[in-house]
Amino acid sequence: MTAGRSLYQALSDYAAGDFYPYHMPGHKRNPAGGEMADYHKIDITEIDGFDNLHQAEGILKEAQLRANRLYGADETFFLVNGSTGGVLAAIMAAAQPFDEILLARNCHKSVYHAAILHGLIVRYCWPKMISEYDIFDGVSAEEIGNLLDTYPGVKAVVITSPTYEGVLSDIPGIAAAVHERGKILIVDEAHGSHFGLSSHMPQGAIAGGADLIIHSLHKTLPAMTQTALLHVNGDRVDRGKLRGYLSMLQSSSPSYVLMASMDACMKFLEEQGQERFAAMRGHYESFCEKTASLEHIHIGKMTKVSQKRYELKGWDLGKMVISVKGTNMTGKELGDVLRETYHLEMEMTAETYVLAIMTLMDEAAGWQRLADALCEIDDRIEESADEGSFASGKRAAYLNRPLKSRMTPARAFQSEWETIPMQEAAGRTAAGFINLYPPGSPIVAPGEMLDEAVMKQIEEYRRTGLHIQGVSEDGQIVVVAL
Ligand SMILES: Cc1ncc(COP(=O)(O)O)c(C=O)c1O
């Protein structure tokens, strides 16, 4: 980036180029999602006639009701600092300070942040890996039921479905297991705000029976970054308390630009949603036909993995896990070629795959550019001769290997910290998070014991240029002081 250029200028220059976004936000810079006026003109505060999000009685109440009608939950709240605010408020309303909660270990960091802020005791459910793609599988209802029997003090269960890579869990089964035992189910459906809105999309967690459901509108729908929704079903959660936490955790000056964007998105879905979702299904099917002859690149969808071996109950068609596992190319290299040669920017690059996000705002040309590039690249790839190569994905094994938990995340985070080189960390207790970003689910959470294997894995990621949060540039991490 040229020194001295303002952020606005840099963004405008980038927008004028030919890079195609296979990443969030879901509007894909496509004005068909409803262009809004110059943002200065609609950026106001709580003046007469424009209501107040924290006690909505007028136009903002109407807008939230519009969203509510579309999704069919009992109540829906606008969120202006993303799903993060909704996850924090949901967990804090569902469990009292120092209570016990059960989390799928692949949850987003905001779930852990809630556990820290509320001093919660955390029990984990470790999803398996789908070894063909080195990604997390869904969570099983049976395992959740068993864990709740082992930890009867748990107040609430938090799972992520779909995962960042689009893998769905059995929400109705999990809801039944949780409710039978008198607990609360929170589903972080941040990546599934398009679910349940069309017969072409999977049924979502609202219809699946979850108590609290969080949606990032900005991830997969045409709405501005930071826009999200929190939905409530039933009366297991005290709504007054929930509103109270939403007020504490969100800005007292929620942006009217963002709220207008959410409402515009709801109107767009009401008016054009069905047609757009049907078109998306059509684009997806032609993309599958065009890429059916790929020899080395595999695109992760249900047909490629055995449902018998795994818990997954479906795979969001908007998430394309484009795998080069077992070839002489790494995910990072694939992402680089797509960016540098084809000007296609992916959502994420991992060891053995790249992730492309497709939404109802991608037109045929977007699908076509990706299919064409993959067909060309596939011709240049070879199978790997090196069994132990990085691209073989063998080293992703850490992901479902439980680390020993020595204290609650809150106690570790709030203890005295010491900063040490990561090479000296084995045997110590993590005080902070170490995340592979995106998606931002922790490799290490505060309170966990660091061991040689996990530290080696993190070093390997750093060497191959993947983004690691929680390790400083010179390789230092924070641990609980002795
Ligand atoms: C599964 C999951 N939950 C929650 C969040 C937080 O969402 P937001 O960025 O809207 O705050 C993310 C963000 O990437 C996520 O991947």
Residues 113 and 225 in one domain: yes
How much is the pLDDT for 460?
A: 85
Q: How far is the CA of 396 from the centre of ligand 1 (A)?
A: 22
Asked if residue 434 is part of any domain, the answer here is yes
Best probe residue, ligand 1, of 24, 77, 84, 316 (max atoms within 8 Å of C-beta): 84
Token pair for residue 246? 């939403």
Task: Give me the DSSP letters along 390-419.
Answer: GGG-GGGGGGGSPPPB-S-HHHHHHS-EEE
Q: How far is the CA of 400 from the centre of ligand 1 (A)?
A: 21
How much is the pLDDT for 4?
A: 86
Question: Could you tell me which residues come within 8 angstroms of residue 151 by beta carbon, excluding any fewer than 6 positions away?
Answer: 100, 102, 123
How much is the pLDDT for 198?
A: 97
- The answer to whether 250 and 243 have CB atoms below 8 angstroms apart is no
Residues 193 and 91 in one domain: yes
Site of tokens 């809150």: 410
Please tell me the total count of domains within the chain. 3
| CATH number of domain containing 363 | 3.90.1150.10
Q: Going by CA atoms, what residue is nearest to atom 15 of ligand 1?
A: 108
Q: How far is the CA of 24 from the centre of ligand 1 (A)?
A: 11
Residues 426 and 337 in one domain: no
Q: Which of 347, 363, 392 is the last residue of a domain?
A: 392
Asked if residue 24 is part of any domain, the answer here is no
φ, ψ of residue 291 to 5 degrees: the values are -100, 5
pTM (two decimals): 0.94
pLDDT digits (tens, 9 = 90+) for 386-431: 544 444 444 444 455 688 999 999 999 999 999 999 999 999 999 9
Neighbouring C-alpha atoms within 13 Å toward the C-beta of 413: 19
φ, ψ of residue 268 to 5 degrees: the values are -60, -45
Q: Going by CA atoms, what residue is nearest to atom 10 of ligand 1?
A: 82
How much is the pLDDT for 307?
A: 62
| CATH number of domain containing 417 | 3.90.100.10
Q: Kindly state the helix (H) or strand (E) to which residue 157 belongs, with its residue range.
A: strand 154-160
CA 216 to ligand 1: nearest atom = 10
Asked if residue 105 is part of any domain, the answer here is yes
Residues 98 and 237 in one domain: yes
Residues 346 and 452 in one domain: no
CA 218 to ligand 1: nearest atom = 10
How much is the pLDDT for 22?
A: 98
Question: For ligand 1, which residues put their CB under 6 angstroms from it?
Answer: 82-84, 87, 108, 110, 160, 164, 188, 190-191, 216, 228, 439-440
Neighbouring C-alpha atoms within 13 Å toward the C-beta of 86: 27
Residues 445 and 333 in one domain: no
Asked if residue 359 is part of any domain, the answer here is yes
Q: What range defines the domain where residue 458 resides?
A: 403-480
Question: Rounded to the nearest 10 degrees, how much is the dihedral formed by the CA atoms of 17, 20, 24, 29?
Answer: 60
Question: Rounded to the nearest 10 degrees, how much is the dihedral formed by the CA atoms of 269, 274, 278, 284?
Answer: 20
Question: With b meaning 16 or more CB within 10 Å and e meaning fewer, what string describes 118-157?
Answer: bbbbbbbbebbbbbbbbbbbbbbbebbbebbeeeeebbbb
Q: Which of 265, 286, 314 is the last residue of a domain?
A: 265
Asked if residue 21 is part of any domain, the answer here is no
Residue/partner pairs of 11-17 with CB below 8 Å, 24 or more apart: 17/343
Residues 90 and 179 in one domain: yes
**Which residues of the chain fall below pLDDT 50?**
302, 387-398
Residues 180 and 292 in one domain: no
